[in-house]
Amino acid sequence: MAKGYWVSVYRTISDPEKMAAYSKLAGPAVRAAGGRVLSRGSRVVAHDDGIAEFTVLIEFDSFEQAVAARESEPYQEALAALSDGVERDFRIVEGVD
């Protein structure tokens, strides 16, 4: 079974307090859903047309688990806390077996 990954690239963080509230709720929600944070940082080297932005990479045992985690009630509460505090590109991608 292929793993699933959350890839979040933060274009802007306009409200650090909302981001902090989100992080406080999202971390436990992700861990409870079986997610493992592989990278959470601002050290990014961009190539071609990429932009070096704050990026988070989270791994799940399956793509389905990653999708379910995004839809879970605890993560939805985290999203409500975040609301319009950031502009980000959030994707769920399937890994290669």
Tell me the pairing of strands 86-94 and 54-60: unpaired
Could you list the beta-strand ranges (E) of 28-85: 36-41, 54-60
pLDDT score recorded for residue 67 = 98
For residue 58, give its domain range.
4-94
Whether residue 14 contacts residue 88, with contact meaning beta carbons closer than 8 Å, is answered with no
Burial (CB count within 10 angstroms: exposed 0-12, middle 13-18, buried 19+), residue 66: buried
pLDDT score recorded for residue 25 = 98
The angle at the Cα of 39, spanning 54 to 55, to the nearest 5 degrees, equals: 20
Q: Encode pLDDT of 61-83 as tens digits.
A: 999 999 999 999 999 999 999 99
Count structural domains, the chain. 1
pLDDT score recorded for residue 51 = 83
Look up the CATH number of the domain holding residue 81.
3.30.70.100
pLDDT score recorded for residue 89 = 95
Low-confidence ranges of the chain (pLDDT < 50): none
